[in-house]
């Protein structure tokens, strides 16, 4: 099959997303700038000003209005995109649920940044993890390339007739959003063909067939049934995500699934990570493999819907697994850990699981930290039991120097 | 355009919605939508209009309609309008000339939705924002109120839907139990404190109270609901004085036993299963002079040797608990982990400042309650003449004690006992004159809804629940609370937010104020708004028969009087030019508009004359400055 290869450029994660949005050329973009997402909003606004896209760009006065305007535009049958970070996502919260409840396939890039206080503009996943129950599909990206690839796929996934759900594509603030990387851009034309035309089921602008969107559904109404429909759509999205990932692979040579396995199948212990930490982890795995340690990585790409079954298959042969969370939920373990552990429960013979919290507020995450996690895993594997189920990597008081 | 022409236009807002009969908002919607024959897309923020017109799966809207949330109608529709422009430009939809309109109430427009509205005006989206201004709010009580429920006294914040609440039967005047069918959080609001001889309660200005209406000699007295704003000093409100029989309380207490975790030895003691008069007396003494130190497994009483209280306590103790007591000159001690835990979990609080009477005590039989009070008085009360006086460091204790005494048939001032003189109504209720009303500051507020009787007893006073009378706490009503009642509510002269002028300051193409009574003026303005090349704003008076309290067939008359008295002048600001669109031939006095409205009834008492005068002056001033703005001499 003829592979259409694009242009190779050196750009930041934000610029890669902006390029993707330019090629998708959505009908409406409503966004409000926030660090570290600002470049996306700015760069896209420049594309509009330069006539590179003919998108209607709404420079709203807040993120709340950004999501509200996206929702109005989506109801009018438009293909809609936006981008935000951290506090911006928090301000949108209310409307996130309304967008998924009304089944609008809005695509949003979330540049992961921690939530205040203390105020801090750097990366962690507390923003998107907080929105995990809002009914949005959540995709995580390791690099600028993946962020770019993911937003293109997100359009197709969300708009699929079987799905009709909003999609949030995440990448790490600054670490990816502001680092210049090698990115392979597809041809404008092939992106255009790949995403195709959006055909909404209903539209506010269909004045001959007026529809009431967002009616009142009080006690005795159908709220529960509507939620069930949403749950079922999320279930159906599993198959769609895999199909679009294969199609995208055929187009670009980069195929995507629910997760990526790195030297996992012959490993005895492994870490599970999201986003950019996967790079550091893979590098450390290479180093430790050279020393003869049976270590591996599983990089989760799709967090919602959570790929429980596939994850179990991929992990069942391991002796111990460490789940790395870049977010906390005070009073319990990290959010990703809870889900992985729950998923493994149904396996008869299952690996031991531990949780490491790392990188909050942009705290650096270095190979020595991940090595520390692997060493703990090897120890667990040897002893056959977990002594410290939750630990922290890179805390100042316990700075690990190897 | 003639009314005949208009009547031939298609109805876009159909019947079958559930707004009140005579609701001004519906008339506003219909008149505005008649102003254009172009297709219109409508958005409503959460509110009366939204909830009543789109009850799933039916809808009253014959036009495309969307509701998103409370504060973002303007932003939502700006998204739809942008989509419309781009989809047409891209040829994805057929060319059609669509208009966009928001219908927002005053809450969704003046307050929470103002930011999104301002953003839309600034960005210049072509849409018409219509505010149907019905000046209505809800009415509520301060969250510190204590409510009489089946299971005793509860803070209003603890009352849940389904709880049984004591209420006043308006036919028989008896005490009845009714189910609470809803609890409503009304946010932080200004609350006033109302004091009667023996009670006090905090509520918002528009909360209704049950007031005695004396119909003169030989005729039966009746009761009427009056809002706090309408009540004045000297009015008699209905208060609770006695509760039903009650029954002993069953304690749910498990003793610590030998063999329990880390327990090798426990002092033997009997812990009663049910409350009894003796136990209550014992606990009364405890509340007055006792303490527990659970960690030391110790219960103690500060009762000097030879005091009457000590003798009583020692007797009661051996009778109830059957265990040993240790004592010195000043104190009595019981060393028992179980007694300390038992008393500790009853909810009387620990330490002198935090003592209080827990809710379950209110459900006890009269005798047990009385014994409790006796015990309390024995320890800490003292006698002056025919009455007792009680002093405590705990304000909460005094408050709960006062209610306990009141519901046991005592009259209480500064906790003094007196035999009742004249019992007017019956054994449960009484009326008391209001002594004082004053502004108590801003506090979080809640309200309850109660089945059938629609009332409940808060801080011992019978009050109405939410839902029937929609507020007189309009911007204006709040202003009118500077009545004689208001000698103690000084300076409450909040003016309405002049939203129309606020919006005009955004320099958008078209802004107007209109009224459904002047339909030709309204429709013309709506037409101009729909044709404006940018954002347009219409502020339209929407009389609310429920909230304003006038007969449902008088809506248009109410709107007309508001215009003719110049309370609601009709004007427009077109590209920055202010123009009066209707000048009443003869400017009517404001009273003509106030008089027919129930919400202003209290203003017509002779002592409130000056309020009307002040109100008139305010309207005159606003009118004159508007004339100046419109360059009319
Ligand atoms: S309460 Fe007032 S505004 Fe609401 S529906 Fe009834 S009349 Fe209309």
State how far the Cα of A310 lies from the Cα of A114, in Å rounded to an integer: 29
- pLDDT confidence band for A326 (50 / 70 / 90): very high
Q: Which residues of B touch A68 (CB under 8 A)?
A: 68-69, 72, 75-76, 79, 116
Task: Specify whether the CB–CB gap between B456 and B438 falls below 8 A.
Answer: no
Interface of A with B (CB under 8 A): 27-28, 30, 54-56, 58-62, 64-65, 68-78, 80, 94-95, 98, 197, 203-207, 210-218, 221-222
Banded pLDDT at A273 (limits 50, 70, 90): very high
Q: Which of A46-60, A181-195, A233-247, B213-227 has the lowest mean pLDDT?
A: B213-227
Indicate whether residue B356 lines ligand 1 (CB < 6 A). no
**Does residue B510 lie in a domain region?**
yes
Do residues B521 and B427 both lie within one domain?
A: no
Domain limits for position B285: 277-414
- Cα separation, A101 vs B384, in Å, equals 68
Stronger pLDDT, B20 or A3, i.e. the higher one? B20
**Pocket of ligand 1 contains residue B25 by CB under 6 Å:** yes
Any atom of ligand 1 within 6 Å of the Cβ of B28? no
Last residue of a domain, one of B393, B414, B435: B414
Q: How does DSSP classify residue B110?
A: I
Q: Is B20 in the pocket of ligand 1 (CB under 6 A)?
A: yes
- Does pLDDT of B281 surpass 60? yes
Q: Which atom of ligand 1 is nearest to the CA of B19?
A: 5
User: Does residue B482 form part of some domain?
Assistant: no
Which of B208, B140, B379 lies closest to B283, judged by CA? B379
Long-range contacts of B486-495 (CB under 8 A, 24+ apart): B486/B611, B488/B436, B488/B437, B488/B438, B488/B439, B489/B192, B489/B437, B489/B438, B489/B439, B490/B439, B492/B439, B495/B618
What's the mean pLDDT in A112-126?
96
Q: Are residues B220 and B319 in the same domain?
A: no
One domain for residues B23 and B132:
yes
Q: How many residues does chain B have?
A: 633
Ligand 1 binding pocket includes B271 (Cβ within 6 Å): no
CA nearest neighbour of A108 among A65, A166, A51:
A166
Q: Spell out the residues 6+ positions from residue A281 whose beta carbon is closer than 8 angstroms to its own.
A: A262, A271, A273, A297, A299, A324, A370
What is the pLDDT of chain A when averaged over all its residues? 95
Cis amide linkage into residue A117, ω under 30° from 0: yes
Please state the atom number of ligand 1 nearest to the C-alpha of residue B22.
7
Interatomic CA distance for residues A26 and A22, integer angstroms: 8
List the single range of A173-182, A276-285, B265-274 with lowest mean pLDDT: B265-274
**Per-residue confidence (pLDDT) for residue B241, from 0 to 100:** 65
Which SS3 state, helix, strand or coil, does residue B490 take? coil
How remote is the CA of residue B552 from the centroid of ligand 1, in Å? 11
Name the residue facing B51 among A56, A77, A216 (closest C-beta).
A216
Position A398 scores a pLDDT of: 52
CB A139 within 8 A of CB A154: yes
Rounded alpha-carbon distances, angstroms, from residue B627 to B241, B590, B592, B619 = 57, 18, 22, 12
- Structure confidence at residue A133 as a pLDDT band (50, 70, 90): very high
If you count them, how many residues does chain A have? 402
Hey, are the CB atoms on A56 and B83 less than 8 Å from each other?
A: yes
Mean pLDDT of B56-80: 94
> Tens digit of pLDDT for each residue in B469-480?
333 223 333 333
**pLDDT at B427 (0 to 100):** 64
Identify the residue whose C-alpha is closest to ligand 1 atom 5.
B19
Would residue B521 be called left, alpha or beta, if left means φ above 0 and alpha means ψ between -120 and 50 degrees? alpha
Please determine, for residue B483, whether its predicted confidence score (pLDDT) is greater than 60: no
Specify the number of domains making up chain B: 3
Residue closest via CA to ligand 1's atom 6 equals B20
At B489, the pLDDT band (50, 70, 90 cuts) reads very low
Q: Which of B414, B449, B483 is the last residue of a domain?
A: B414
Contacts of A204 in chain B (CB under 8 A): 41, 64-66, 80
Cβ B290 under 6 angstroms from ligand 1: no
Residues of chain A neighbouring B39 (CB-CB closer than 8 A): 207
- The answer to whether residues A244 and A156 touch, using CB atoms and an 8 Å cutoff, is yes
- Enumerate the residues of chain A whose CB falls inside 8 A of the CB of residue B92: 27, 77, 197
Instruction: For residue A173, give Cα distances in angstroms to A1, A91, A128, A303, B243.
Output: 36, 18, 12, 18, 64
A4 pLDDT band (50/70/90 cuts)? very low
Using N-to-C axis directions, what is the helix angle for B24-34 and B519-531, rounded to 10°?
A: 50
Contact assessment for residue A170 and residue A125, using Cβ atoms and an 8 Å cutoff: yes
- Reported as a single tens digit per residue, the pLDDT across B302-332 is 888 888 888 888 888 888 888 888 888 888 8
Whether B224 contacts B164, CB under 8 Å: no
Residues with Cβ within 8 Å of A328's Cβ and at least 6 positions away in sequence, in order, are A126, A334, A357, A360
Instruction: Check pLDDT > 50 for residue B35.
Output: yes
pLDDT at B29 over 50: yes
CA-CA distance, A295 to A277, in Å (whole number)?
Answer: 16
Nearest by Cα to B208 from B235, B242, B243, B187: B235
Q: Give A260-393's CATH code, choosing from 3.40.50.800, 3.40.33.10, 3.40.50.1980, 3.40.50.920.
A: 3.40.50.920
- CA nearest neighbour of A167 among A21, A41, A304: A304
Contacts of A51 in chain B (CB under 8 A): none
- Under a CB-based contact definition with an 8 Å cutoff, are residues A53 and A47 in contact? yes
Span B582-586, average pLDDT: 95
| pLDDT surpasses 80 at B435 | no
**Which residues lie below 8 Å from residue B194, measured CB to CB, with a gap of 6+?**
B200, B201, B202, B203, B209, B228, B231, B237, B434, B436, B437, B461
Beta bridge partners of A285: none
Asked if pLDDT for residue A303 goes beyond 90, the answer is yes
Give the nearest partner residue to A58 out of B39, B78, B118, using CB atoms. B78
The protein residue with its alpha carbon nearest to ligand 1, atom 2, reads B544
CATH of the domain at B614: 3.40.50.970
* For range B585-593, the mean pLDDT: 94
B599 compared with B448, residue with greater pLDDT: B599
The Cα–Cα gap between B191 and A167 comes to: 46
Which pLDDT score is estimated for A13? 97
pLDDT tops 90 at residue B579 = yes
Backbone torsions φ then ψ of A40, nearest 5 degrees: -65, -50
Q: B64 and A210: CB-CB below 8 Å? A: yes
Using one digit for the tens of pLDDT, what is the confidence trace for B376-427?
A: 887 766 666 566 667 776 777 877 787 777 777 666 654 444 333 333 446 6
**How many whole angstroms from B52 Cα to the centroid of ligand 1?**
10
Is residue A349 over pLDDT 80?
yes
pLDDT score of B485 more than 70: no
**B619 contact partners, CB below 8 Å, separation of at least 6:** B565, B566, B567, B590
Res. B3 pLDDT band, cuts 50 70 90 = confident
Contacts of B98 in chain A (CB under 8 A): 205, 207
Q: Report the C-alpha gap between B346 and A76 in whole angstroms.
A: 60
Neighbours of A386 (CB within 10 A): 16
A64 vs B contacts (CB less than 8 Å): 71-72, 75, 116
Task: Identify whether the C-beta of residue A215 lies closer than 8 Å to the C-beta of residue B56.
Answer: yes
Q: Which ligand 1 atom lies nearest to the CA of residue B105?
A: 3
CATH of domain A7-252: 3.40.50.970
Do the Cβ atoms of A23 and A192 come closer than 8 Å? yes
Output the CA B150–ligand 1 centroid distance in Å.
Answer: 34
Looking at the complex, report in whole angstroms how far the Cα of residue A200 sits from the nearest Cα belonging to chain B. Answer: 11
Would you say the CATH fold of A260-393 matches that of A7-252?
Answer: yes
Q: Which residues of A touch B78 (CB under 8 A)?
A: 58, 60, 65, 69, 72
Nearest by CB to B78, from A69, A80, A213: name it: A69
**Mean confidence (pLDDT) of chain B:** 79
Q: Do B79 and A72 touch (CB under 8 A)?
A: yes
Judge if B428 and B407 occupy the same domain.
Answer: no
- Per the domain annotation, does B168 fall within a domain? yes
Question: In terms of domains, do B32 and B128 share one?
Answer: yes
CATH number at residue B373: 3.10.28.10
Domain check: are B295 and B168 in the same one? no
Pairing status of strand B141-142 against strand B99-104: unpaired
How many Cα atoms are found within 13 Å in the side-chain-facing hemisphere of B271?
Answer: 20
pLDDT over threshold 90, residue B517: yes
Q: Which of B64, B81, B122 sits opposite A211 (nearest CB)?
A: B64
> Quick check: A38 and B49 in contact, CB under 8 A?
no
Decide if B472 is inside a domain: no
Residue B488 lies in a domain: no
Say if residue B94 is in the same domain as residue B172: no
- The answer to the question of residue B118 being in a domain is yes
**pLDDT exceeds cutoff 90 at B256:** no
- Contact status, residue B535 vs residue B127, Cβ threshold 8 Å: yes
Q: Whose CA is nearest to atom 8 of ligand 1?
A: B23
Please tell me the predicted confidence (pLDDT) of residue B423. 34
Question: Across A333-342, B414-423, B494-503, which has the greatest mean pLDDT?
Answer: A333-342
Ligand 1, atom 4: nearest CA belongs to which residue?
Answer: B48
Q: What is the pLDDT of residue A19?
A: 97
Best residue among B134, B545, B554 to mutate for probing ligand 1's pocket (most ligand atoms within 8 Å of CB) is: B134
Question: How do strand B387-389 and strand B382-384 relate by DSSP bridges?
Answer: antiparallel
Same domain as B111, residue B39? yes
User: Per-domain residue ranges for chain A?
Assistant: 7-252, 260-393
Nearest Cβ partner for A58 among B56, B82, B84: B82
In a domain, B252, yes or no: no
Distance in angstroms (rounded) separating the CA atoms of residues A198 and A200: 6
Contact assignment for A213 to B50 by CB distance below 8 Å: no
CA of A117 to the centre of ligand 1 (A): 43
Beta bridge partners of B189: B443
CB B547 near ligand 1, within 6 Å? yes
CB contact under 8 A, A72 and B98: no
Of B22, B109, B545, best ligand 1 pocket probe by most atoms within 8 Å of the beta carbon: B545
Does the beta-carbon distance from B80 to A204 stay under 8 Å? yes
User: Which is the closest atom of ligand 1 to the Cα of B547?
Assistant: 2
Residues B157 and B80 in one domain: no
pTM comes to 0.68
Which chain B residues touch A210 with a CB distance below 8 Å? Answer: 61-65
- Look up the CATH number of the domain holding residue B194: 2.170.16.10
Instruction: Kindly provide the residue ranges of all beta strands, DSSP E only, lying in A283-364, ordered along the sequence.
Output: 295-300, 302-304, 320-325, 352-358
pLDDT at residue A3 above 70? no
CA dihedral defined by A18, A23, A29, A31, rounded to 10 degrees? 0
pLDDT at A48: 94
Instruction: State the average pLDDT over residues B103-118.
Output: 89
Please give the residue of chain B at the shortest CA–CA distance from A60: B119
**Ligand 1 contacts CB of residue B545 (under 6 A):** yes
For an interface test with A, the pick among B70, B76, B85 (most A C-beta atoms closer than 10 Å) comes out as B76
Give me the sign of the Cα torsion angle B270, B271, B274, B280. Answer: positive
| pLDDT surpassing 90 at residue B534 | yes
Which residues does B200 contact at the CB level (< 8 Å), separation at least 6?
B193, B194, B459
The pLDDT of residue B492 is 31
Cβ atoms of B389 and B415 closer than 8 Å? yes
Report how far residue B496's alpha carbon sits from residue B260's, in angstroms, rounded to the nearest whole number. Answer: 67
Do B148 and B211 lie in one domain? The reply is yes
Mean pLDDT of A251-265: 97
Residues B515, B438 share a domain: no
Separation CA B341–CA B296 (nearest Å):
11
């Amino acid at each position: 099959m003829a592979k259409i290869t694009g242009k190779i450029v050196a750009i930041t994660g934000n610029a890669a997303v902006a390029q993707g949005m330019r090629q998708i050329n959505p009908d409406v973009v409503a966004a409000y700038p926030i660090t570290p997402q600002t470049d996306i909003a700015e760069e896209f606004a420049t594309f509009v000003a330069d006539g590179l896209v003919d998108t209607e760009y709404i420079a709203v006065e807040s993120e709340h209005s950004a999501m509200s305007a996206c929702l109005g535009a989506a109801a009018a049958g438009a293909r809609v995109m936006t981008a935000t970070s951290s506090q911006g996502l928090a301000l949108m919260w209310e409307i996130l649920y309304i967008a998924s409840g009304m089944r609008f396939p809005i695509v949003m890039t979330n540049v992961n940044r921690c939530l205040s206080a203390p105020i801090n503009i750097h990366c962690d996943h507390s923003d998107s993890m907080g929105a995990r129950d809002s009914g949005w599909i959540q995709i995580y990206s390791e690099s600028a390339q993946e962020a770019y690839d993911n937003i293109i796929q997100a359009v197709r996934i969300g708009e699929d007739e079987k799905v009709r759900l909003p999609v949030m594509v995440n990448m790490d603030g600054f670490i990816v959003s502001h680092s210049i990387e090698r990115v392979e851009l597809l041809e404008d034309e092939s992106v255009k063909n790949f995403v195709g035309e959006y055909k909404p089921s209903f539209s506010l602008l269909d004045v001959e067939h007026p529809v009431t969107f967002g009616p009142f559904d009080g006690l005795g109404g159908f709220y529960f049934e509507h939620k069930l429909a949403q749950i079922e759509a999320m279930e159906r999205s599993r198959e769609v995500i895999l199909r679009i990932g294969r199609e995208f692979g055929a187009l670009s040579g980069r195929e995507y699934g629910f997760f990526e396995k790195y030297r996992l199948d012959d490993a005895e212990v492994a870490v599970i990570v999201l986003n950019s930490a996967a790079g550091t982890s893979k590098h450390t795995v290479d180093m430790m493999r050279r020393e003869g340690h049976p270590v591996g990585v599983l990089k989760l790409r799709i967090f919602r819907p959570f790929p429980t079954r596939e994850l179990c298959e991929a992990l069942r042969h391991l002796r111990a697994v460490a789940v790395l969370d870049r977010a906390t939920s005070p009073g319990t373990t990290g959010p990703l850990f809870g889900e992985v552990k729950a998923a493994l429960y149904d396996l008869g013979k299952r690996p031991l699981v531990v949780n490491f919290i790392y990188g909050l507020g942009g705290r650096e995450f270095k190979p020595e930290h991940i090595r520390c996690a692997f060493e703990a895993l090897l120890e667990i594997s040897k002893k056959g039991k977990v002594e410290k189920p939750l630990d922290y990597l890179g805390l100042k008081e316990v700075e690990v120097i190897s | 355009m003639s009314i005949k022409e208009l009547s031939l236009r298609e109805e876009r807002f159909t019947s079958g919605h559930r707004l009140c009969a005579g609701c001004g908002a519906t008339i506003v919607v219909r008149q505005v939508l008649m102003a254009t024959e172009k297709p219109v897309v409508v958005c409503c923020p959460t509110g009366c209009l939204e909830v009543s017109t789109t009850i799933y799966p039916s809808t009253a809207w014959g036009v495309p309609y969307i509701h998103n949330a409370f504060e973002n109608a303007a932003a939502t529709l700006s998204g739809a309008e942008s989509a419309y422009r781009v989809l047409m430009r891209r040829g994805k939809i057929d060319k059609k000339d669509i208009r966009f309109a928001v219908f927002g109430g005053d809450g969704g427009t003046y307050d929470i939705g103002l930011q999104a509205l301002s953003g839309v005006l600034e960005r210049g989206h072509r849409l018409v924002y219509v505010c149907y201004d019905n000046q209505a709010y809800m009415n509520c009580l301060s969250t510190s109120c204590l409510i009489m429920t089946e299971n005793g006294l509860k803070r209003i914040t603890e009352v849940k839907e389904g709880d049984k609440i004591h209420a006043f039967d308006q036919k028989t005047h008896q005490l009845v139990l009714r189910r609470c069918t809803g609890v409503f959080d009304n946010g932080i609001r200004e609350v006033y404190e109302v004091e009667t001889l023996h009670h006090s309660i905090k509520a918002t200005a528009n909360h209704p109270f049950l007031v005695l209406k004396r119909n003169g000699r030989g005729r039966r007295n009746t009761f009427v609901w009056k809002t706090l704003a309408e009540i004045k000093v000297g009015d008699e409100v209905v208060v609770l004085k006695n509760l039903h029989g009650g029954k002993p309380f069953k304690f749910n207490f498990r003793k610590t036993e030998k063999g329990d975790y880390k327990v090798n030895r426990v002092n033997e003691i009997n812990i009663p299963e049910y409350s009894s008069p003796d136990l209550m007396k014992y606990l009364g003494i405890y509340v007055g002079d006792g303490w527990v130190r659970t960690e030391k497994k110790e219960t103690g009483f500060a009762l000097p040797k030879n005091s009457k209280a000590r003798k009583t306590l020692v007797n009661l103790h051996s009778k109830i608990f059957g265990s040993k007591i240790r004592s010195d000159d000043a104190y009595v001690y019981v060393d028992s982990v179980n007694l300390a835990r038992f008393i500790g979990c009853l909810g009387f609080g620990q330490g002198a400042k935090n003592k209080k009477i827990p809710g379950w005590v209110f459900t006890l039989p009269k005798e047990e309650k009385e014994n409790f009070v006796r015990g309390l008085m024995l320890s800490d009360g003292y006698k002056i003449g025919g009455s007792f006086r009680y002093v405590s460091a705990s304000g909460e204790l005094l408050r709960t004690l006062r209610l306990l005494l009141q519901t046991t048939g005592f009259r209480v001032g500064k906790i003094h006992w007196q035999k009742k003189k004249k019992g007017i109504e019956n054994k449960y209720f009484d009326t008391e004159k209001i002594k004082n009303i004053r502004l108590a500051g801003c506090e979080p507020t809640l309200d309850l809804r109660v089945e059938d009787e629609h009332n409940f007893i808060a801080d011992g006073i019978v009050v109405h629940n939410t839902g029937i009378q929609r507020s007189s706490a309009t911007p204006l009503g709040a202003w009118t609370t500077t009545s004689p009642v208001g000698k103690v509510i000084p300076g409450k002269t909040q003016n309405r937010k002049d939203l129309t002028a606020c919006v005009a300051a955004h320099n958008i193409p078209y802004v107007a104020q209109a009224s459904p009574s002047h339909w030709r003026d309204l429709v013309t303005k709506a037409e101009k708004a729909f044709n404006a090349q940018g954002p347009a704003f219409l502020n339209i008076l929407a009389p609310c028969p429920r909230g304003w309290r006038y007969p449902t067939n008088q809506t248009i008359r109410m709107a007309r009087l508001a215009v003719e008295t110049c309370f609601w002048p009709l004007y427009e600001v077109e590209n920055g030019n202010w123009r009066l669109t209707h000048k009443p031939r003869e400017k009517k006095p404001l009273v003509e508009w106030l008089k027919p409205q129930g919400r202003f009834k209290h203003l017509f008492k002779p002592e409130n004359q000056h309020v009307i005068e002040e109100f008139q002056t305010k309207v005159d001033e606003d009118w004159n400055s508007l004339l100046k703005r419109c360059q009319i001499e």
